[in-house]
Amino acid sequence: MPFEVIRGPGVPQSHLPFSPAIKAGNLLFVSGQASTDESGKVISDTFENEFRRTLENLQKILAAAGLGLGDVVQVRSYLKNQSDWDAYNRLYREYFKEPLPARTTLVNCLGTVLYEVDVIAYDANA
């Protein structure tokens, strides 16, 4: 099989039918991540805390693939509330550094969680 499912210690699991991430050649496609514990249970909190927990989950998946946030080339973010826009951009800058990944952000589009993200990362060593 030309694809590899990425799993590892601390990588959040889901009861839904998808893989946490799929590696295809030099690219890693990470499924939507949210504020969940390792079992996939949603942890509701403030926007900032949900954002940070989501990025921690993302970092666990990237690490399981031998990558980090600096390897991310595209980010798609989803915000439940437009009112979190400023906090989102402030927090985003804490995690993503130059050169910043390409980014798309949708607002007013989530039901249960306040923030979700999916990314594509590039593995220069693959």
Question: What pTM was estimated for this model as a whole?
Answer: 0.95
Q: What is the pLDDT of residues 57-94, one digit of tens each?
A: 999 999 999 999 999 999 999 999 999 999 999 999 99
Q: Tell me the CATH number at 35.
A: 3.30.1330.40
DSSP reduced 3-state for 91: helix
Q: What is the pLDDT of residues 33-55, one digit of tens each?
A: 999 998 889 999 999 999 999 99
Reference 120, options 9, 50, 31, 33; nearest CA is: 31
- Average confidence score pLDDT of the chain: 95
pLDDT category, 103, cuts 50, 70, 90? Answer: very high
Please give the distance of CA 65 from its chain centroid, rounded to a whole number: 13
For the chain, give the number of residues.
Answer: 126
At which residue do the structure tokens 């909190």 appear?
A: 45
DSSP state of 84: G
Q: State how many domains the chain has.
A: 1
The answer to whether 5 touches 21, Cβ cutoff 8 Å, is yes
Domain that holds residue 59: 3-122
